[in-house]
Amino acid sequence: MYMSASNTNNYKCTMCKVIIILLNYQIKLLFFVLYFLFSHKLSAQDRSSQVESIRQTWLSLGTAEHCSSYRLSIHLYRAAPGGELRLDEEKETIYHDSHEGFSLDNMQTRLAEGKAGRREREILLVNRIYACKLRQDPKSGELVLLNPPNMHPVGEERPRIADAQQSNRLLWLKPSRTFRLHDLIDPALSRIVAVESAGPDLVRVTFRIRSGLSEQDQQKVGGVSAGSLVLNSRWHHRLEKADIEFSPQTHHRQTYRITYIDQPGKEHHMKSLESEAKWQLEGDPSPRIGKMIVGYEELPPTDDPRIFYLSHYGLPEPEGVTAPPKSFPLWVWLLSAAGVFATVAVFCGWIARRRRRACTKGTPSAG
């Protein structure tokens, strides 16, 4: 049976309409795909620029501090699978820094079954010339040098000191010994998944560490695989809380919550930090639990640069190194200057009185 000419024309017209409709859908689909890819690329660039702005704020904030001194009290609690949290370690850290360097004096008490155990002390010294670590001998109580001082390469003294001082001054930038916040959200080291509002003045940054990092970059992120940071945009994007994932094999997860000093000008100075950790090793019937509570106390800043040198602790300096003389605070110099001026004023007054008396004796009397 053959189709008539009119039917053939109708069929062709119908097929043309179908093809046109399909082409329109394909064009629209291609448009939406390109739009999605382009907008996704723009949003990724926007997230990266937002994060870079936050990182630069942190860097400028750390270098704005002139000097810092504080005491940290740290309590570490641990629990075996299915067990209760028990105090495992107590630590105290005293920190001083100035333009000459910084020192970290760590005293640690290891507890056994709730009883006081052995006490350890280590001191890290960093000055413009070298860095070294001391340890207190448990028997004699004397401080001994753990290793030869590490001399700074010429030209790198200040950058090395400034980089370490930043994390020591603003402790919330390094809530763990293994990582710093500005490394975790470095676009070169991690993929920024989202930057979104988490409430009034709060921003949540979600990230995932990139795979295939070099060994040096892996050390920077300290075993972290992913996480999220809640930052306060009102106060220099300070960290309010964090949820960090470590090795997926151990299901290690750690949370941090921070409170700050409630004083004008000190809104980014930490008052306390509380951290909770959960992880599970192979063969554990249930997760292990850990908790850390850190208390912060500000101390008067140091005015003696010698505390960053070995000779201050009764040990010899490296060959060719001389510790700087003790410096005095401004008020001492002002008081000394006032004393000198007062002495000069008294002396000048005494000279003036002698001259007046001499003039009086040498003047002939009337009549």
- Residue 91 above 70 pLDDT? yes
- Residue 290 above 80 pLDDT? yes
More confident residue, 37 or 354: 354
Cα 314 to Cα 323: distance, rounded to the nearest angstrom:
12
pLDDT score, position 16? 66
Cα 109 to Cα 76: distance, rounded to the nearest angstrom:
11
- Among all chains, which residue has been given the structure tokens 């994007």? 237
Question: In which band, very low, low, confident or very high, does the pLDDT at 274 lie, cut at 50, 70 and 90?
Answer: very high
- For 218-241, the pLDDT digits (tens) are 989 988 999 999 999 999 899 999
- For 193-217, the pLDDT digits (tens) are 999 999 999 999 999 999 999 999 9
Per-range mean pLDDT, top range of 87-101, 272-286, 314-328: 87-101
pLDDT score, position 33? 47
Domain boundaries, the chain: 38-65+171-298, 67-169+303-335
pLDDT score, position 24? 66
Burial class of 157 by CB neighbour count within 10 A (0 to 12, 13 to 18, 19+): middle
- pLDDT, mean of residues 90-101: 89
3-state secondary structure 52-67: HHHHHHHHHHHHHCCC
Cα 125 to Cα 150: distance, rounded to the nearest angstrom:
10
Cα 322 to Cα 305: distance, rounded to the nearest angstrom:
12
Cα 258 to Cα 3: distance, rounded to the nearest angstrom:
82
Residue type at 10 in one-letter notation: N
- Residue 272 above 70 pLDDT? yes
Residue type at 202 in one-letter notation: L
Listed residue (363, 40, 321, 27) closest to 191, CA to CA: 40
- Residue 170 above 90 pLDDT? no
Q: What percent of the chain has pLDDT over 70?
A: 70
pLDDT score, position 309? 94
More confident residue, 12 or 323: 323
Number of Cβ atoms within 10 Å of the Cβ of 185: 24
Listed residue (52, 294, 66) closest to 172, CA to CA: 294
- Residue 327 above 80 pLDDT? no
- Phi and psi at residue 85, to the nearest 5°: -65, 135
Q: Say how many CA atoms lie within 13 Å of 257 toward its Cβ.
A: 5
